[in-house]
């Protein structure tokens, strides 16, 4: 019988720390090292999506999606996800340093609504640069990719719907515009494919070593 590839919760948390931790390291270090950001323009797509403080809740669901992906996806996908996140972070970090960007962020209201307070809190510690490519978009795509499994159609569908909703909220909240969101999704695809190539190359090397005389 073929052995099942399993992973302990502790190992999953270590992969979460390695993958997501590398993103945080790149994100905040590049914010310190980069120069003044170039202002990104809004497009017709952005203007068609009205700004809304209440989109903060969908935006923040990203911080539930990531640990959920690491804790529930199959073990090989968890390993892939950690590598893909790290590679995507490196790709974004290079762009952040070579071409820093920023946005014309809408002013947050003075109201006491929970969504407004949550947005003010987010803006108090988030970078005003590091816009293009959107790491938020890249990591959302990778988590949805890891969770989509033909053996679990309901989970796959819910992950896909949540991923699309988060991407919508990213623009509705004006934390990114469509240009850098699209760039972030492209980085996520590139990071995921590079991670798969790493696995394939490592497997071929292992087979070559085993079969060598």
Q: What is the pTM of this model?
A: 0.91
Query: What values do phi and psi take at 38, rounded to 5?
Result: -80, 135
Residue whose structure tokens are 């892939």: 80
User: pLDDT tens for residues 143-200?
Assistant: 999 999 999 999 999 999 999 999 999 999 999 999 999 999 999 999 999 999 976 6
Summarize pLDDT for 70-103 with one digit per residue, the tens: 999 999 999 999 999 999 999 999 999 999 999 9
Q: How far apart, in Å, are the Cα atoms of 200 and each of 91, 146, 177, 196, 204?
A: 20, 17, 35, 6, 6
Which residues share a beta bridge with 101?
38
Q: How many CB atoms lie within 10 A of CB 107?
A: 5
Query: What percent of the chain is predicted at pLDDT more than 90?
Result: 73
In this predicted model, what pLDDT tens digit does every residue of 109-147 receive, in sequence order? 666 788 888 888 888 888 889 999 999 999 999 999 999
pLDDT at 201: 59
- Nearest-CA neighbor of 43 among 189, 194, 174, 198? 174
Contact (Cβ atoms closer than 8 angstroms) between residue 84 and residue 191: yes
Closest CA to 176 of 17, 23, 46: 46
| 16 half-sphere exposure, CB direction, 13 A CA radius | 19
Each residue's pLDDT tens digit, 37-66: 999 999 999 999 999 889 999 999 999 999
> Looking at the DSSP assignment, which residues form a beta bridge with residue 102?
39
* Start-to-end C-alpha separation, the chain: 29
Residue in 189, 183, 140, 190 with CA at minimum distance from that of residue 43:
183
Neighbours of 213 (CB within 10 A): 2
Asked if 170 and 181 count as a contact pair (C-beta separation under 8 A), the reply is: yes
Say what the pLDDT of residue 206 is.
46
């Amino acid at each position: 019988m073929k052995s099942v590839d399993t992973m302990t919760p502790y190992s999953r948390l270590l992969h979460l720390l390695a993958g997501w931790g590398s993103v945080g390291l790149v994100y905040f270090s590049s914010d310190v090292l980069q120069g003044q950001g170039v202002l990104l323009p809004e497009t017709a797509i952005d203007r068609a999506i009205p700004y809304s403080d209440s989109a903060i809740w969908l935006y923040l669901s990203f911080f539930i999606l990531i640990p959920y992906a690491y804790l529930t996806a199959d073990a090989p996908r968890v390993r892939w996800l950690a590598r893909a996140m790290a590679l995507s972070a490196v790709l974004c970090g290079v762009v952040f340093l070579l071409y820093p960007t920023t946005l014309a962020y809408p002013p947050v209201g003075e109201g006491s609504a929970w969504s407004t307070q949550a947005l003010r809190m987010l803006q108090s510690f988030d970078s005003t640069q590091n816009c293009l490519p959107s790491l938020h978009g890249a990591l959302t795509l990778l988590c949805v990719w890891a969770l989509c499994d033909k053996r679990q159609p309901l989970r796959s569908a819910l992950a896909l719907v949540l991923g699309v909703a988060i991407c919508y909220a990213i623009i509705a909240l004006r934390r990114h515009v469509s240009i850098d969101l699209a760039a972030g999704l492209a980085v996520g695809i590139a990071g995921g494919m590079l991670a798969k190539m790493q696995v394939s190359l490592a497997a071929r090397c292992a087979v070559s070593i085993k079969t060598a005389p």
